[in-house]
Amino acid sequence: MKIVILDGYTTNPGDLSWEVIAAQGDLTVYDYTPPELTVERARGAEILLDNKTPLTAEVLQQLPDCRYVGLMSTGYNIIDLAQAKAQGITVTNIPAYSTHSVAETVFALLLEICRRAGLHSESVHRGDWSNGRDFCYWLSPLTELHGKTFGIVGYGAIGQAVAKIAEAFGMNVLACGNPAKPPKDGLVSFAQVLAGSDFVSLHCPLFPETVGLMNAGTLSQMKDGAVLINTSRGPVVNEADTAAALCSGKLSAFGADVLSTEPPAADNPLLSAPNTVLTPHYAWASKEARIRLLDILAANLRAYLAGKAQNTVG
């Protein structure tokens, strides 16, 4: 059985082993696959493992031998599910492998915004402290988290993990589920989260109704000087509107691990907006999370081969 990994580098840049996959068939691993080579590299493979290489309807139609696509991600927007279903291709994803890593990254961003440890460390290494007069100094306003209200939009596994960390910091938590639906199970509405929170963290999936969820209108409903954090999907945030809110002071800061286009264009307005902390979509990528990803990937494949497919999508 021929197995092809189309883009393995981000999952395993060399610090992990593909052995759990190789044990299940004749494995070929490509670090990256440009679109023009996808069909050539995938042709003849019964099993495709994929992260971000697009598997469009046109591509799938040229792969009659493909029977299974194992996505190395939770999201599945890179594959045409309707075409996969039409061809009888089983598609699986990797749920819940990066919950703790993403939740921790939310607070890495938040603490950098509120305490600016990186900025002050750079200052100390430049010699500013050695050459200073006082036993201490600070270069930016310092904000305490304790007692503040932390708003969560999207209350799945990651949202719930974030809530526990916020509570451990002594913060009050407001959370909503699907922002387009009425609240239930002790949650509050999207509007209540926006109006009542000092910090708002986004954890909603990318669906048509959540594209541009944070825009000029919804940003205007937030407290003056609030902080917005996005570790969900880049298009959930209207970047031009968010940059304008930062420039006006409506938002005091913005932290994100995701942008609408990745890598971002050089003229992305958030790259030049004030008070932004941006990381390169790395929240999921702790070694521990990637080990879990590979374990689930292998388990998904074994289950499919045994006729008991799990974590299917579409």
Instruction: Report the pLDDT value the prediction gives residue 105, as an integer from 0 to 100.
Output: 98
pLDDT score for 203: 97
Averaged pLDDT for residues 75-86: 95
Residue range 209-268, pLDDT digits in tens: 999 999 999 999 999 999 999 999 999 999 999 999 999 999 999 999 999 999 999 999
- Reported as a pLDDT band with limits 50, 70 and 90, residue 274 is very high
| Lookup: tokens for 281 | 């979509």
For helices 157-168 and 99-115, the axis angle rounded to 10 degrees is 40
Q: Tell me the per-residue pLDDT of 117-139, one tens digit each, with 9 for 90 and over.
A: 999 999 999 999 999 999 999 99
Which residue's structure tokens are 């963290």? 201
Assigned CATH topology for domain 99-278: Rossmann fold (3.40.50)
List, by residue number, the catalytic residues: 233, 262, 281
Contact 236, 202 (CB under 8 A): yes
Summarize pLDDT for 163-207 with one digit per residue, the tens.
999 999 999 999 999 998 889 888 999 999 999 999 999 999 888
Q: What is the mean pLDDT of residues 22-33?
A: 97
Tell me if domain 2-95+287-305 and domain 99-278 are identical in fold: yes
Average pLDDT over residues 12-34: 97
pLDDT at 181: 87
Q: What are phi and psi of 131, to 5 degrees?
A: -95, 5
Nearest Cα to 152, choosing from 140, 165, 142? 165
Nearest to 199 by CA among 140, 253, 250: 253
What is the DSSP annotation of the chain?
-EEEES--TTT-SSSS--HHHHTTSEEEE-S---GGGHHHHHTT-SEEEESSS-B-HHHHHT-TT--EEEESSS--TTB-HHHHHHTT-EEE---SSSHHHHHHHHHHHHHHHHH-HHHHHHHHHHTTTTT-SSS---SS-----TT-EEEEE--SHHHHHHHHHHHHTT-EEEEESSTTS---TT---HHHHHHH-SEEEE-----GGGTT-BSHHHHTTSPTTEEEEE-S-GGGB-HHHHHHHHHHTSEEEEEES--SSSSPPTT-HHHHSSSEEE--S-TT--HHHHHHHHHHHHHHHHHHHTT---SB--
Tell me the average pLDDT across 304-310. 97
pLDDT over 90 (residue 314): no
Question: What pLDDT is recorded for position 207?
Answer: 87
Note whether 232 and 211 are within 8 A (CB).
no
Which long-range contacts does 69-77 make (Cβ < 8 Å, 24+ apart)?
A: 70/297, 70/300, 70/301, 70/304, 71/313, 72/8, 72/11, 72/293, 72/297, 74/98, 75/206, 75/233, 76/313, 76/314, 77/206
CA of 44: how far to CAs of 2, 4, 39, 80, 206, in Å?
Answer: 7, 9, 9, 19, 32
Tell me the whole-structure pTM to 2 decimals: 0.92
Domain ranges for the chain: 2-95+287-305, 99-278
Quick one: fold of 2-95+287-305? Rossmann fold (3.40.50)
Share of the chain above pLDDT 70, in %: 100
Q: Is it the case that residue 115 has pLDDT exceeding 90?
A: yes
Q: What is the pLDDT of residue 60?
A: 98
Residue with more model confidence, 314 or 113: 113
Please state whether beta strands 172-176 and 226-230 pair in parallel, antiparallel, or not at all (unpaired). Answer: unpaired
Query: Does residue 73 register a pLDDT over 90?
Result: yes
At 201, list the tokens.
Answer: 């963290």
- The identity of residue 52, as a single letter, is K
Q: What is the mean pLDDT of the chain?
A: 97
